């Protein structure tokens, strides 16, 4: 069965966190248990050494038996440990009992053989032994054997060693921690032992409470981890799912869908990169569609521009050939129209070839420092006659200092002829066309302004397109090919210049060209 990435991440994280928590709980429990057991052993050893001094005083007659019994019982209650005192002959001198309610008596200190110990206080009576499962009153032989076996097990203490052990106590019938400390006289000789028997059950109960606390904390940590991991896995998987959906949409040709980026981590950066990719693909597809539309429009426009003159030439030629037209004057007019249309075809083909060369990346255009003011002055002089014919005022202003740019002189002349010819073509009688040339240390600015009919605002972005004409009907009144501004734009780009167009209907149009400036010669 296929499992989602979110499920895999969730299960993996929870498994790792659970193992870590379990390992921590086990390790912490072991450390805590070892710490408390060690602390208890150290406490019992310390008290046992103190008791050995007291027992040595008793054996040397410095304290009475009553004082010894009272002290032993007090320390029993303080340590919660059963205290035995054994002399050098391994006879039990005294055995403490835990206080429960009130003591019924303390008895007297009596010697006890190694086989059996008679209690010195009321706690060591036969009934007490019965309650522990191996008392002196019932099963006395078992008690005697248990005491003897225990003393044999701790035999090294009578040679001056301190012993600590934890095992099932044969006398009390439960797990106990045993600490045996030798009783040494002033000469350093061992003349007995103090045995402290601490029930482990109390320590276990305390440790159980600690384990429960650790377990509860572990469960809370696990619940918190569950919440965090769930949110984390969702935060990782959700953008990936959105990327999958976006990719599927892109595969179907829809590039509008985007990934919601809510973080700045690697996943968020991946989502942002995916959105950038979708945006770039959308632009690429849009540009491709635009190029395809331009190609179709170009083919349609070229077909139109070629078909019309060819149709006219064919019609007039057939009329002359089949003898339909015999009048000399009409024949001359037909021949002139044929020549005009042939020249139009020639101009169209030349413009197409020129545009193709300019757009070719391998086409190298030779450049040199050009005094732009001289180029502009030459072109304006060439067009003064055309301006006078249309009764248009053609004015020309420039700065006194010459303005140099790096460019190709022939292409610059072609550029100015295209722009000024268009300005004169679309400016009505008694209109004005002005040319201004200014410069600074960084750029040379050429401004061409006319008072013609203007260009609609929605058509301004299209003026550089091939075969663009404000006259959508493609009338033949102005005899233009519609390629002039496309060629002009290629020349501008080849010179590293920029151009902007401003126009208002009924007021006129302004072209502003900005060329990178060069320092004047000399």
pLDDT tens across 178-206, in order? 999 998 887 778 888 999 988 888 777 87
**What confidence score (pLDDT) does residue 121 get?**
39
Give the residue-averaged pLDDT of 48-61: 85
Residue 40 has pLDDT above 60, yes or no: yes
CATH number at 266-359: 1.10.287.130
* Alpha-carbon distances, residue 119 vs 48, 85, 109, 222 (angstroms): 20, 11, 8, 54
Q: Would the CA dihedral through 67, 117, 163, 74 be positive or negative?
A: negative
What's the CA gap between 204 and 226, in Å, rounded?
Answer: 32
b or e along 282-312 (b: 16 or more beta carbons within 10 Å of the residue's beta carbon)? eeeeeeeeeeeeeeeeeeebbeebeeebeeb
Is 272 buried (19+), middle (13-18) or exposed (0-12) by CB count in 10 A? Answer: middle
pLDDT band for 74, please (50, 70, 90 cuts): confident
What does the pLDDT look like over 420-432, one tens digit per residue? 999 999 999 999 9
* 3-state helix, strand and coil shares in percent for the chain, rounded to the nearest 5: 55, 15, 30
Give the residue-averaged pLDDT of 59-84: 86
**What confidence score (pLDDT) does residue 27 get?**
85
pTM of the model: 0.47
Give the residue-averaged pLDDT of 248-274: 78
**What confidence score (pLDDT) does residue 1 get?**
43
* Alpha-carbon distances, residue 472 vs 78, 339, 356, 451 (angstroms): 113, 26, 24, 21
**What confidence score (pLDDT) does residue 397 get?**
94
What's the CA gap between 24 and 3, in Å, rounded?
Answer: 30
Antiparallel, parallel or unpaired: β 404-407 and 368-371 = antiparallel
Q: Which residue, among 464, 465, 459, 460, has the nearest Cα to 295 in the 3D structure?
A: 465
CB 196 within 8 A of CB 75: no
**What confidence score (pLDDT) does residue 209 get?**
85
Q: Name the range with the highest mean pLDDT among 18-32, 334-348, 373-387.
A: 373-387
Is 183 buried (19+), middle (13-18) or exposed (0-12) by CB count in 10 A? Answer: buried
**What confidence score (pLDDT) does residue 340 get?**
85
Residue 515 has pLDDT above 90, yes or no: yes
What does the pLDDT look like over 278-287, one tens digit per residue? 888 888 888 8
Residue 344 has pLDDT above 60, yes or no: yes
What does the pLDDT look like over 300-337, one tens digit per residue? 777 777 787 888 888 888 888 888 777 888 888 888 88
**What confidence score (pLDDT) does residue 469 get?**
67
pLDDT band for 362, please (50, 70, 90 cuts): low
pLDDT band for 509, please (50, 70, 90 cuts): very high
* Alpha-carbon distances, residue 20 vs 3, 163, 222, 415, 459 (angstroms): 24, 37, 10, 78, 70
Say which CATH topology domain 5-206 has.
Beta-Lactamase (3.30.450)
Q: Which residue, among 172, 232, 177, has the nearest Cα to 203 in the 3D structure?
A: 177
More confident residue, 112 or 228: 228
Beta-ladder partners of 473: none
CB 466 within 8 A of CB 522: no
DSSP state of 470: S
* Alpha-carbon distances, residue 245 vs 101, 141, 450 (angstroms): 78, 86, 54
pLDDT band for 109, please (50, 70, 90 cuts): very low
Average pLDDT, the chain: 80
Q: Which residue, among 67, 117, 127, 56, has the nearest Cα to 92 in the 3D structure?
A: 117
Element (H, E) at 439: strand 432-439
In 343-403, the DSSP E strands lie at 368-371, 393-398
Give the residue-averaged pLDDT of 405-417: 93
Give the residue-averaged pLDDT of 338-346: 86
What does the pLDDT look like over 457-493, one tens digit per residue? 888 888 888 776 665 544 555 556 678 898 899 999 9
CB 484 within 8 A of CB 305: no
% of the chain with per-residue pLDDT over 70: 86
Q: Residue ranges per domain, the chain?
A: 5-206, 266-359, 368-518
CB 436 within 8 A of CB 446: yes
**What confidence score (pLDDT) does residue 444 get?**
94
Residue found by looking up tokens 């989602």 in the block: 4
Distance from the Cα of residue 1 to its chain's centroid: 31
Residues 6+ apart with CB under 8 A from 59: 87, 183, 185, 191, 192
Give the residue-averaged pLDDT of 250-256: 80
**What confidence score (pLDDT) does residue 295 get?**
75
Residues 6+ apart with CB under 8 A from 43: 79
Residue 126 has pLDDT above 70, yes or no: no
**What confidence score (pLDDT) does residue 137 get?**
39
CB 273 within 8 A of CB 261: no
CATH value of 368-518 in 3.90.1150.50, 1.10.357.10, 2.60.40.10, 3.30.565.10: 3.30.565.10
């Amino acid at each position: 069965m296929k499992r989602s990435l979110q499920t895999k991440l969730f299960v993996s994280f929870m498994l790792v966190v659970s193992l870590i928590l379990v390992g921590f709980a086990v390790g912490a429990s072991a450390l805590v248990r070892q710490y408390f057991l060690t602390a208890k052993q150290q406490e019992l050893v310390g008290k046992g050494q103190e008791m050995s001094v007291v027992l040595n005083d008793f054996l040397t007659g410095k304290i009475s038996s009553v004082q010894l019994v009272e002290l032993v019982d007090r320390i029993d209650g303080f340590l919660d440990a059963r205290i035995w005192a054994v002399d050098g002959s391994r006879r039990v001198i005294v055995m403490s009992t835990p206080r429960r309610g009130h003591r019924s008596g303390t008895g007297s200190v009596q010697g006890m053989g190694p086989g059996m110990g008679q209690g010195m206080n009321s706690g060591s009576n036969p009934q007490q032994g019965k309650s522990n499962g191996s008392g002196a009153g019932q099963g006395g032989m078992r008690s005697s054997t248990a005491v003897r076996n225990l003393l044999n097990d701790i035999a090294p203490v009578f040679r001056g060693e301190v012993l600590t052990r934890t095992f099932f106590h044969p006398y009390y019938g439960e797990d106990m921690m045993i600490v045996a400390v030798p009783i040494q006289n002033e000469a350093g000789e061992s003349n007995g032992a103090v045995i402290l028997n601490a029930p482990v059950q109390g320590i276990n109960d305390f440790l159980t409470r600690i384990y429960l606390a650790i377990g509860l904390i572990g469960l809370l940590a696990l619940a918190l981890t569950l919440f965090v991991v769930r949110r984390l896995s969702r935060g990782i998987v959700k953008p990936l799912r959105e990327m999958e959906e976006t990719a599927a949409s892109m595969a179907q040709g829809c590039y509008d869908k985007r990934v919601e980026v809510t973080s700045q981590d690697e996943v968020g950066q991946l989502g942002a990169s995916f959105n950038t990719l979708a945006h770039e693909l959308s632009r690429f597809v849009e540009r491709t569609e635009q190029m395809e539309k331009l190609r179709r429009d170009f083919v349609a426009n070229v077909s139109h521009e070629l078909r019309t003159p060819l149709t006219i030439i064919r019609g007039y030629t057939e009329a002359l050939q089949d003898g339909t037209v015999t009048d000399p004057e009409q024949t001359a007019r037909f021949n002139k129209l044929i020549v005009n249309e042939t020249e139009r075809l020639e101009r169209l083909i030349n413009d197409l070839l020129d545009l193709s060369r300019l757009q070719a990346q391998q086409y190298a255009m030779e450049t040199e420092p050009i005094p732009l003011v001289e180029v502009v002055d030459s072109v304006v002089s060439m067009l003064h006659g055309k301006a006078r014919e249309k009764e248009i005022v053609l004015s020309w202003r420039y700065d006194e200092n010459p303005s140099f740019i790096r460019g190709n002189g022939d292409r610059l002349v072609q550029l100015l002829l295209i722009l000024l010819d268009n300005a004169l073509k679309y400016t009505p009688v008694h209109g004005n066309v002005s040319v201004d040339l200014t410069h600074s240390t960084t750029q040379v600015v050429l401004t061409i302004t006319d008072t013609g009919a203007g260009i609609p605002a929605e058509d301004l972005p299209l003026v550089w397109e091939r075969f663009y004409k404000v006259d959508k009907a493609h009338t033949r009144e102005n005899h233009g090919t519609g390629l002039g501004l496309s060629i002009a734009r290629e020349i501008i780009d080849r010179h590293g210049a920029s151009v902007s167009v401003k126009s208002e209907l009924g007021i006129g149009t302004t072209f502003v060209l900005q060329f990178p400036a060069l320092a004047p010669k000399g």
